[in-house]
Amino acid sequence: MGSLFVELARQATANARREVETYTREIPEFGFLDNDSRARAETLEHALWLRRRTIDLSPDSSALTGDDLAYIASMGELRAGAGMPLGARRRILWLHTALMLREINEATEIQRDGGAEEIMRMMNWFAPQGERGIAAYCQGFVRVLRRRLPYVEQITLLTRALLNGDPISAELASAVGMELPDYWAVTVIRIPERPVGDRFLENEIETLVKNHRTPVMWGPEDGDGSGELIALIPLLSGAAEAEPVPPHATLDLSPDLVPDCLSELVRDFARALGRPCAAGTATAPLSELADALGRARRISRAAPLRRASARLRPHTLADVFAELAVADVPFVDMWLRDVARRLESGPDLLVTLDAYYRHDMHRGATATALNVHTRTLDYRLRRVRELTGIAPGSTRGVRTLSAVVTRRLSGAWR
């Protein structure tokens, strides 16, 4: 055994103690070790064992054995059984890795004659075996979560892990029988008034998950009492019935490429909720879901609120790009709001314009949707022109009045 490994063996006990002290100091969930001598001794034993196995195996580039991985998995089970949250698990793994690298560097400084060959041998072993050890730890951790947590909470943990880029998402997905495809449509369903009662929320999420087989969770509640449901819709999977990925999969979907399953999920949730919702969606590869969530959230806030019906659908960037830009330019938004005020004196003019633009300015289809005669529709459109000076069917009318309608229906002007 070379001088580097000898020095690491000599310092193993002291380094293990330092790791336990670091956990207690920097991870609040480990504070109980100060008052639980048995748990502290057990944690020290784990830390020391990991160092000794590293010293035993790395000189010959030997892999962790099945028994080694089982022991590491038991550590994950122990932490999950003690109620350790996922966030703390990530901090534990990060601290352990950082401390081990620091110990190698310190031993190298002491044993300057150890040579670069020993350092390279250690590092070449550390990376792949470290990944195997982390995977085993995660498997043990999730094993306990699967036994102890309700199905809905497991789905929530999976959704959060995917959005945070947490590697444990692979184990969580396996535990609930879901695949992790390469591309996703991140969807935010905005609710102006979040329902009261956690049991209602849990029941609806459980129903959505079982019906649609997709990760969903409730987002943070805003200060104004509004809320949002976040859903991750797979766009690529090994399953034969998976939705195809469009050629521009790294970009947000065009409205006509929104998967049917996504529209169905939005409508199913809105029906259960029984109140108006607005949905926004953005696509991204698995590694960029957090960025897509930010885009989907902004789109949902610009999208019109509607009740569950064929009209309620997830909006994309292409649907509301103008309204998104307007929201960031206050004086333009004020101008559009003034146009909206002029329409308030007319008979259902905003509702009429909404139907008119949703039906691509087709008079017959619009009149049928409004359940009025085409002459009544023509009268209302003339009234819009009289009040605003803008013809609804002109280029200017489409650009201006469609933005007015969407901003008004989104609830942005309260």
- Is residue 414 situated within a structural domain? no
Domain hosting residue 39, numbered range: 3-148
Q: At what angle do helices 349-358 and 363-370 cross, to 10 degrees?
A: 130
pLDDT for 333 beyond 50: yes
Give percent of the chain with pLDDT exceeding 90. Answer: 43
Task: Give the span between the Cα atoms of 217 and 229, in whole angstroms.
Answer: 6
Q: pLDDT higher for 193 or 191?
A: 191
Q: Which of 148, 166, 186 is the last residue of a domain?
A: 148
Does 124 lie in the same domain as 109? yes
Mean pLDDT value of segment 390-414: 93
Task: Give the span between the Cα atoms of 86 and 162, in whole angstroms.
Answer: 12
Q: Which range has the worst mean pLDDT, 77-86, 157-166, 284-293, 371-380?
A: 77-86
Q: pLDDT higher for 259 or 161?
A: 161
- Is residue 44 situated within a structural domain? yes
How confident is the model over 202-212, as pLDDT tens digits? 677 777 777 88
Closest CA to 319 of 230, 409, 246: 409
- Residue 183's DSSP bridge partners are 285
pLDDT for 339 beyond 50: yes
- Which pLDDT score is estimated for 188? 93
Closest CA to 280 of 388, 190, 199: 190
Task: Give the span between the Cα atoms of 414 and 19, in whole angstroms.
Answer: 54
- Which pLDDT score is estimated for 391? 96
- Residue 186's DSSP bridge partners are 232, 282
Q: Which helix (H) or strand (E) holds 231?
A: strand 227-234
Does 278 lie in the same domain as 376? no
- Which pLDDT score is estimated for 357? 95
Q: Which of 279, 306, 322 is the last residue of a domain?
A: 322
Task: Give the span between the Cα atoms of 86 and 165, in whole angstroms.
Answer: 12
- Which pLDDT score is estimated for 197? 52
Task: Name the token pair of 107.
Answer: 């031993």
Task: Name the token pair of 371.
Answer: 């359940």
pLDDT confidence bin for 229, thresholds 50/70/90: confident
Does 101 lie in the same domain as 212? no
Closest CA to 282 of 267, 292, 272: 292
Does 360 lie in the same domain as 267? no
Does 120 lie in the same domain as 186? no
Supply the mean pLDDT for the chain. Answer: 85
Mean pLDDT value of segment 84-96: 84
* Contact yes or no for 406/320 (Cβ under 8 A): yes
Q: Which of 148, 173, 193 is the last residue of a domain?
A: 148
Instruction: Give the chain's domain count.
Output: 3
pLDDT for 403 beyond 90: yes
pLDDT confidence bin for 236, thresholds 50/70/90: low
Does 58 lie in the same domain as 15? yes
- Which pLDDT score is estimated for 152? 83
- Which pLDDT score is estimated for 113? 58
Task: Give the span between the Cα atoms of 371 and 53, in whole angstroms.
Answer: 77
* pTM of the model as a whole: 0.79
Does 136 lie in the same domain as 21? yes
CATH code of the domain covering residue 94: 1.10.490
Task: Give the span between the Cα atoms of 238 and 243, in whole angstroms.
Answer: 10
Does 380 lie in the same domain as 302? no
Does 196 lie in the same domain as 107? no
- Is residue 153 situated within a structural domain? no
Task: Give the span between the Cα atoms of 263 and 231, in whole angstroms.
Answer: 12
How confident is the model over 258-312, as pLDDT tens digits? 777 788 888 888 887 777 889 999 999 998 999 999 999 999 999 999 887 767 8
pLDDT confidence bin for 242, thresholds 50/70/90: very low
Does 179 lie in the same domain as 308? yes
Task: Give the span between the Cα atoms of 174 and 146, in whole angstroms.
Answer: 10
How confident is the model over 15-69, as pLDDT tens digits? 999 999 999 999 888 888 888 888 889 999 999 999 999 989 988 889 999 999 9
Amino acid at 280: G
CATH code of the domain covering residue 370: 1.10.10.2840
Does 141 lie in the same domain as 181? no
- Which pLDDT score is estimated for 238? 41
